[in-house]
Amino acid sequence: MSGQANKQICNNKKAFHDYFVEESFEAGLELFGTEVKSMREGKVNLKDSYCFIKNGEIFVRGMHVSPYEKGNIFNKDPLRDRKLLMHKREIMRLFGRVKQDGLSLIPLSLYFKGSKIKLSLGICIGKKLHDKRQTQATKDAQREMQRTLRERQKM
């Protein structure tokens, strides 16, 4: 199974805009068949989602998976809490970091790894307004340097 490329389903751009990502983890998802089919079509949104730990289990809340058109009675609630699959040791480590340091668990991306659907979640620190401005200024400067280099190479 090694050597297979991961196929991106969905990316949470808002997470990278609103948070500094300290560390990222990979987790499996507990899904129903119609949800998997809908995700294969790319009908999923991570924009306002977050993860929480309850009774030693980790869940994602706010992840919107559009109902599958041909799913009729088998479709589930699009915004239901979905259980993430991780080792107990990893969950307890995340729980300790989140409680002690006041960090957040934010879903970063959703992708296929082989035939399995995986969620990349990050331990994040919220950005302040000045941090967002600084990040944007850095990106603009990088873009300007790349543009200048391309123009010089053409000459």
Tens digit of pLDDT at every position of the chain (155 positions):
455 567 888 888 888 878 888 888 898 888 877 788 888 888 888 888 888 888 888 998 888 888 877 767 667 777 788 888 889 998 888 888 888 777 888 898 888 888 888 899 888 888 777 777 888 888 889 999 898 888 888 77
Domains parsed from the chain with CATH numbers: 7-127 (2.40.280.10)
Report the alpha-carbon distance of residue 155 to residue 147 in Å, rounded: 13
Q: Indicate the pTM of the whole model.
A: 0.72
Report the alpha-carbon distance of residue 109 to residue 7 in Å, rounded: 11
In Å, what is the CA distance from 33 to each residue of 11, 79, 89, 105? 22, 16, 28, 26
Residue 1 pLDDT: 44
Report the alpha-carbon distance of residue 58 to residue 66 in Å, rounded: 22
DSSP string of 45-108, one letter each residue: E-TT-EEEEETTEEEEES-EEPPPTT-GGG---TT--EEEE--HHHHHHHHHHHHHH--EEEEE
Residue 39 CB coordination number (10 Å) = 20
Q: Which amino acid is at 151?
A: E
Token pair for 131:
């941090």
